[in-house]
Amino acid sequence: MARKFFGTDGVRGTANKYPMTADMALKIGAAAGRYFRNDGSNGHRVVIGKDTRLSGYMFENALTAGLTSTGMNVLLLGPIPTPAVGLLTTSMRADLGIMISASHNPAMDNGIKFFGPDGFKLSDEAEAEIERLMESEIEPAQANNIGRAKRIDDGRFRYAERLKGTFPAGMRLDGLKVVIDCANGAGYKVAPEVLWELGATVIPVGTAPDGFNINEGCGSTSPRTAAETIVTHGADVGICLDGDADRVMILDENGEVADGDQIMGLFATRWAEQGRLNGGTLVATVMSNLGLERHLEDKGLKLLRTSVGDRYVVEGMRAGGFNLGGEQSGHIVMSDFATTGDGLLAGLQFLAAMIETGKRASELCRVFETVPQMLKNVRYGDGADPLGELSVKAAIASAEEALVGKGRLLIRKSGTEPLIRVMAECVDDALLEKVVDSIVAEVEAVATVSA
Tell me what the mean pLDDT of segment 194-220 comes to: 98
**What phi and psi, each to the nearest 5 degrees, are found at residue 131?**
-60, -40
Lowest mean pLDDT among 30-44, 80-94, 161-175: 30-44
Lowest mean pLDDT among 118-132, 158-172, 181-195: 118-132
- Among residues 404, 407, 401, the alpha carbon closest in space to that of 426 is found at 407
Confidence of residue 449 (pLDDT cuts 50, 70, 90): low
Length of the chain: 451
Residue 229 forms beta bridges with which residues?
none
Residue 151 forms beta bridges with which residues?
76
Confidence of residue 417 (pLDDT cuts 50, 70, 90): confident
**In this predicted model, what pLDDT tens digit does every residue of 9-24 receive, in sequence order?**
789 999 999 999 999 9
Task: Answer whether 101's CB lies under 8 Å from 47's CB.
Answer: no
pLDDT value of residue 150? 97
How many CB atoms lie under 10 A from the CB of residue 105?
Answer: 22
Task: Answer whether 321's CB lies under 8 Å from 67's CB.
Answer: no
Tell me what the mean pLDDT of segment 139-145 comes to: 92
Tell me what the mean pLDDT of segment 307-318 comes to: 93
**In this predicted model, what pLDDT tens digit does every residue of 218-268 receive, in sequence order?**
999 999 999 999 999 999 999 999 999 999 999 999 999 999 999 999 999
Tell me what the mean pLDDT of segment 398-418 comes to: 88
pLDDT value of residue 2? 55
pLDDT value of residue 286? 92
pLDDT of 451 > 70? The answer is: no
pLDDT of 204 > 50? The answer is: yes
**In this predicted model, what pLDDT tens digit does every residue of 271-284 receive, in sequence order?**
999 999 999 999 99
Give Cβ neighbours of residue 448 (< 8 Å, ≥ 6 apart). none
Residues 193, 380: Cα–Cα separation, whole Å: 41
pLDDT of 33 > 70? The answer is: yes
pLDDT of 316 > 70? The answer is: yes
pLDDT value of residue 1? 46
Structural domains in the chain plus CATH codes: 11-153 (3.40.120.10), 158-239 (3.40.120.10), 258-364 (3.40.120.10), 373-450 (3.30.310.50)
Tell me what the mean pLDDT of segment 184-202 comes to: 98
Residues annotated catalytic, as ranges = 103
Give Cβ neighbours of residue 19 (< 8 Å, ≥ 6 apart). 5, 11, 13
Tell me what the mean pLDDT of segment 197-214 comes to: 98
Mean pLDDT of all residues belonging to the chain? 94
Lowest mean pLDDT among 163-172, 183-192, 358-367, 404-413: 404-413
Using alpha carbons only, how large is the chain's radius of gyration in Å? Answer: 22
